[in-house]
Structure 1
Amino acid sequence: MPSTSSSSKSFGAFRSALGFGADQNRVHFEDVNSNPKSQLNRELERFQELVSSQFHVLSDSSTDEFLSIEWMSKLLDAFITCQDDFKLILLNNADAFSKPPLDKQVTEFFDRSIKALDICNAVRDGIEKVRLWRKHLEIVSIAFDSKQRNVMSEGQFRRARKSLTDLAIVMLDDHKETGSIFSNRNRSFGRPNKGKDSNHQRKQGHAKSLSWSVSNSWSASKQLQSMANSLVPPRMGEISQHNGLANCVFTMGFVLMFVLWTVVAAIPCQDRGLFNFSVPKQFSWSNALWLLHTRVMDESKKRERKNSPGLLKEIYMMEKSINLMSDLIDSAQQFPLTEEQQKEVKDGVHELNLVCSSCKNGLDTLDRQLREVFRKIMHCRTEGLGTLSVAQS
Structure 2
Amino acid sequence: MPATTENNQGSFLGRISIRRNQVMSMDGSHDQEQEDLELFQKHVSDRFADLLSSTTDDPSGAGYSLLSIGWLRKLLDELLCCEAEFKAVVMMGRDPSQISKPPLDRLLPEFLDRVVKSLDVCNAVALGIDSLRNLQRLAEIAVAALEPRPMGDGQVRRAKKALNALIAAMMHEDKDSGNTKGTERTRSFGRRGGGGGGNKDQRAGGPFRSLSWSMARNWSSAKQIHAMTSNLVAPRGAESTGLAAPVYIMSTILVFVMWTLVAAIPCQERNGLGTHFPLPRQLGWAQPMIGLQEKIAEEWKKKEKKGFVGLLEEMQRMEKLGQLLIEFADSFQFPAETERLEEVKGHVEELGDICRKMEEGLEPLQQQIREVFHRLVRSRTEFLLVLDQGGKSSAPTV
- TM-score band, normalised by the shorter chain? 0.7 to 0.9
1:121: which partner in 2?
123
The Cα shift of 1:313 comes to 0.9
1:1-393 mapped onto 2 (5 Å cutoff): 35-64=28-57, 65-92=65-92, 93=94, 94-146=96-148, 150-176=149-175, 208=182, 210=185, 211=187, 212-239=213-240, 244-272=242-270, 273-302=273-302, 307-332=307-332, 334-393=333-392
User: 1-side partners of 2:78 and 2:266: how far apart?
Assistant: 21
The Cα shift of 1:391 comes to 2.5
The Cα shift of 1:293 comes to 1.3
The Cα shift of 1:318 comes to 0.8
Do the aligned residues in 2 keep the contact of 1:98 with 1:391 (CA within 8 Å)? Answer: yes
What amino acid sits opposite 2:379 in the alignment?
C
Corresponding residue pairs, total: 329
Do the aligned residues in 2 keep the contact of 1:305 with 1:311 (CA within 8 Å)? Answer: no
Show structure 2 runs of 5+ residues with no match. Answer: 1-24, 58-64, 188-212, 393-398
The Cα shift of 1:91 comes to 2.3
- Deviating above 4 A after TM superposition, structure 1's stretches of 4 or more consecutive aligned residues are 206-209, 303-306
Partner SS for 2:334: coil
The Cα shift of 1:370 comes to 0.9
The Cα shift of 1:216 comes to 2.1
User: 2-side partners of 1:54 and 1:172: how far apart?
Assistant: 34
Partner SS for 1:274: coil
Do the aligned residues in 1 keep the contact of 2:221 with 2:268 (CA within 8 Å)? Answer: yes
The Cα shift of 1:308 comes to 2.7
Do the aligned residues in 1 keep the contact of 2:45 with 2:285 (CA within 8 Å)? Answer: yes
The Cα shift of 1:111 comes to 0.7
User: 2-side partners of 1:324 and 1:90: how far apart?
Assistant: 53
When the two structures are superposed, what TM-score results if normalisation uses the length of structure 2?
0.77
Do the aligned residues in 2 keep the contact of 1:300 with 1:306 (CA within 8 Å)? Answer: no
The Cα shift of 1:168 comes to 4.3
Show structure 1 runs of 5+ residues with no match. Answer: 1-31, 179-202
The Cα shift of 1:174 comes to 2.5
Which piece of structure 1 moves more, 276-285 or 44-53? Answer: 276-285
Partner SS for 1:300: helix
What amino acid sits opposite 2:131 in the alignment?
K
The Cα shift of 1:102 comes to 1.0
What amino acid sits opposite 2:371 in the alignment?
E
Q: Which has the larger radius of gyration?
A: 1
The Cα shift of 1:95 comes to 2.4
What amino acid sits opposite 2:246 in the alignment?
C
User: 2-side partners of 1:57 and 1:293: how far apart?
Assistant: 14
Q: How big is each residue's C-alpha offset from its partner over 1:49-73, in whole Å with a ceiling of 9 and x where there is no partner? A: 1111111111223332222111111
Do the aligned residues in 1 keep the contact of 2:174 with 2:307 (CA within 8 Å)? Answer: no
Q: How big is each residue's C-alpha offset from its partner over 1:126-157, in whole Å with a ceiling of 9 and x where there is no partner? A: 111111101110011111232xxx41111111
What amino acid sits opposite 1:245 in the alignment?
L
User: 1-side partners of 2:103 and 2:304: how far apart?
Assistant: 47
The Cα shift of 1:336 comes to 2.6
Do the aligned residues in 1 keep the contact of 2:172 with 2:307 (CA within 8 Å)? Answer: no
User: 1-side partners of 2:214 and 2:281: how far apart?
Assistant: 38
Do the aligned residues in 2 keep the contact of 1:140 with 1:160 (CA within 8 Å)? Answer: yes
Do the aligned residues in 2 keep the contact of 1:161 with 1:329 (CA within 8 Å)? Answer: yes
